[in-house]
């Protein structure tokens, strides 16, 4: 009796699920309403249109009640020079402060009354300004007329704040040393000198040379209508210029990677933050998927993980059994033509040497003995994380913006899935060997790092004599 009720219930539920009504889906509590393969194929398509001036408009109508809309611009600290390093970050603070037509208070009131969130971020190659709101009228242009002096203080305060976030400090120093002498080595925040001396003219110059229509994407996700969005874009953004002064189109030159190290020793800090990385693959490189799978095999860990010594990543298991670290994560930051693939870990000052040894050991295993089951596990973990990250309109919108800037199109989950499925253990081994084996790493360390081995020892651990 109970079984037949369940059967009826599940059939009804399945039928309702096909109609994609969110309320009725709850009748299928406890069972997956759509299979993974179905969900991949059923994902809504991202529509892309380009305006006459080159500005691209992309959106995905996901059926959510809210939406995120924003501008993704191909500008960042990589485009800055020593003199104006930090301009992009400064600019980010000038955003949302009012326009000629609407003063700041009015803009804020409007935004607050809508219940919307304005947000922005600057990274080395991208800048984004976006707003999360109900699926209603979207905000107009972003303005930079605001009071620069006021923002100067804010920026300096933020510089001070960031010093407490040792993960950011460590990874910034990693970039600074790995890409020394190149624009990728510049931090997004810029030096404090620049924060004190940048003028309005510097910011205006920055905007004029980088905020050009072909490098801007208006992306939206959620309950948006693509045609409506295009109309809005035409009316507000047709004026964005696409010509450069003096035809000086900034071309990104390759950035040289230098195997090197930087140590910021401070024995007063409680924990050591250390990152070791090799040069990785650029966003458009075909090697990126096997490298992402490789990173999933190493995985991540921190003290809150409940798996204990049953965690599947070997390094995580060792971290628990030998109490090697407080946390670690394998990361891959990819830029347009290069990247940094590495492991970042936070550990006690007495365990640094052991943790470094086992991290590099994990890399060597990837290059030599990675097995079928490791790769299968890595692939599954990667697929799960790719899907899991797209859990709201903002992550989806961000995904759209970044993909259009990096690849010129949105890469759908089904394609990621296919590319991940194509990875074999031999491929992982070969590609990891190509990027990791016997290469000079870049190392950045902050904190009580006396125990960190000498660079030559870390360099020697990048190969095994038995091979």
Partner 1 sequence: MCLKCETCKASSDWYDISNHDIVGFSYLLEQLINNINKNLFNQGCKRFFAILTLNSNVPHEGIRLAHTDVKIPDFSDYRRNEVIDPKKSSQESSDSRRAFSYLLTGASTVVGVYMAKTVVTQFVSSMSASADVLALSKIEIKLSDIPEGKNMTFKWRGKPLFVRHRTEKEIATEVAVNIAELRDPQHDKDRVINPRWVIVLGVCTHLGCVPIANAGDFGGYYCPCHGSHYDASGRIRKGPAPLNLEVPYYEFPDDDTVIVG
Instruction: Name which of 170, 220, 184 is nearest 67 in CA terms.
Output: 220
Binding residues for partner 1 restricted to 331-390, rule: CB under 8 A: 337-338
CB of 209 to partner 1, least distance (A): 19
Rule CB under 8 A: is residue 274 a binding residue for partner 1? no
Binding residues for partner 1 restricted to 219-258, rule: CB under 8 A: 253-258
Binding residues for partner 1 restricted to 157-196, rule: CB under 8 A: 157, 159-160, 162-163, 169, 172-173, 176-177, 180-182, 185, 187, 189-193
Query: Applying CB under 8 A, what is the total number of residues that bind partner 1?
Result: 41
Rule CB under 8 A: is residue 290 a binding residue for partner 1? no
CB of 350 to partner 1, least distance (A): 18
85 and 186 in contact (C-beta within 8 Å)?
yes
> Residue 83 has which token pair?
């003199």
DSSP string, 354-411: HHHHHHHHHHHHHHHT--HHHHHHHHHHHHHHHHHH--SHHHHHHHHHHHHHHHSSPP
Point out which span in 39-47, 122-130, 262-270, 327-335 binds partner 1 (CB under 8 A). Answer: 262-270
Rule CB under 8 A: is residue 203 a binding residue for partner 1? no
Instruction: Name which of 358, 360, 344 is nearest 171 in CA terms.
Output: 344
| Upper half-sphere CA count for residue 182 (Cβ side, 13 Å) | 16
CA 359 – CA 352 distance, rounded (Å): 10
CB of 268 to partner 1, least distance (A): 3
Rule CB under 8 A: is residue 450 a binding residue for partner 1? no
CB of 152 to partner 1, least distance (A): 9
Point out which span in 122-130, 227-235, 261-269, 414-422 binds partner 1 (CB under 8 A). Answer: 261-269
Strand partners, 13: none
Rule CB under 8 A: is residue 262 a binding residue for partner 1? yes
Instruction: Name which of 257, 264, 237, 241 is nearest 334 in CA terms.
Output: 257
CA 109 – CA 91 distance, rounded (Å): 22
Report the DSSP pairing between strands 216-222 and 56-61: parallel
Rule CB under 8 A: is residue 46 a binding residue for partner 1? no
* Active-site hit among 80, 92, 261, 279: 92
Binding residues for partner 1 restricted to 64-123, rule: CB under 8 A: 86
H and E: helices and strands count for the chain: 18, 12
Rule CB under 8 A: is residue 281 a binding residue for partner 1? no
Tell me, what DSSP letter sits at residue 460? H
Is 92 catalytic? The answer is: yes
CA 412 – CA 268 distance, rounded (Å): 48
Rule CB under 8 A: is residue 441 a binding residue for partner 1? no
Rule CB under 8 A: is residue 148 a binding residue for partner 1? no
Q: Which residues sit at the interface with partner 1, rule CB under 8 A?
A: 86, 153, 156-157, 159-160, 162-163, 169, 172-173, 176-177, 180-182, 185, 187, 189-193, 253-258, 260, 262, 264, 266-269, 279, 337-338, 438-439
Catalytic residues: 92
């Amino acid at each position: 009796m109970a079984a037949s009720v369940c059967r009826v219930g599940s059939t009804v539920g399945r039928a309702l699920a096909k109609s994609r009504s969110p309320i009725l889906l709850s009748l299928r509590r406890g069972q997956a309403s759509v299979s993974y393969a179905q969900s991949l194929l059923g994902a809504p398509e991202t529509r892309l249109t380009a305006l006459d001036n080159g500005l691209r408009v992309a959106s995905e109508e996901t059926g959510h009640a809210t939406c995120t809309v924003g501008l993704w611009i191909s500008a960042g600290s990589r485009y800055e020079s020593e003199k104006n390093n930090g301009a992009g970050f400064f600019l980010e603070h000038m955003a949302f402060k009012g326009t000629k037509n609407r003063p700041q208070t009015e803009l804020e009131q409007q935004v607050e009354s809508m219940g919307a969130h304005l947000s922005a971020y600057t990274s080395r190659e991208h800048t984004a300004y976006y707003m999360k709101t109900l699926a209603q009228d979207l905000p107009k242009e972003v303005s930079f007329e605001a009071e620069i002096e006021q923002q100067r203080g804010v920026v300096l305060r933020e510089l001070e704040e960031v010093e407490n976030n040792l993960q950011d400090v460590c990874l910034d120093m990693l970039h600074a040393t790995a890409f020394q002498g190149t624009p990728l080595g510049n931090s997004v925040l810029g030096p404090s000198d620049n924060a004190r001396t940048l003028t309005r003219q510097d910011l205006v110059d920055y905007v004029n040379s980088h905020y050009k229509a072909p490098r801007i994407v208006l992306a939206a996700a959620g309950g948006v209508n693509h045609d409506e969005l295009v109309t809005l874009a035409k009316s507000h953004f047709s004026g964005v210029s696409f010509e450069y002064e003096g035809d000086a189109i900034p071309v990104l030159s390759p950035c040289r990677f230098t195997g090197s190290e930087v140590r910021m020793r401070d024995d007063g800090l409680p924990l050591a933050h250390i990152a070791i990385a090799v040069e990785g693959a650029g966003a458009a490189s075909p090697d990126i998927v096997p490298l992402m799978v490789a990173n999933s095999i190493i995985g991540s860990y921190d003290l809150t993980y409940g798996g204990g010594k049953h965690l599947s990543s070997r390094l995580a298991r060792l971290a628990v059994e030998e109490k090697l670290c407080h946390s670690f994560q394998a990361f891959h930051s990819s830029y347009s033509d290069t990247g940094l693939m590495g492991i970042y870990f936070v550990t006690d000052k007495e365990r640094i040497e052991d943790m470094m040894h086992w991290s590099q050991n994990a890399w060597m295993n990837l290059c030599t003995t990675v097995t079928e089951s490791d790769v299968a596990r890595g692939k599954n973990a990667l697929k799960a994380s790719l899907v899991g990250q797209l859990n709201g309109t903002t992550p989806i919108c961000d995904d759209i913006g970044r993909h259009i800037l990096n690849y010129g199109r949105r890469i759908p989950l089904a394609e990621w899935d296919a590319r991940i499925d194509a990875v074999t253990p031999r491929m992982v081994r070969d590609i990891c060997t190509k990027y990791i084996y016997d290469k000079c790493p870049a190392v950045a360390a902050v904190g009580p790092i006396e125990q960190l081995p000498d660079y030559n020892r870390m360099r020697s651990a990048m190969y095994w004599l038995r091979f």
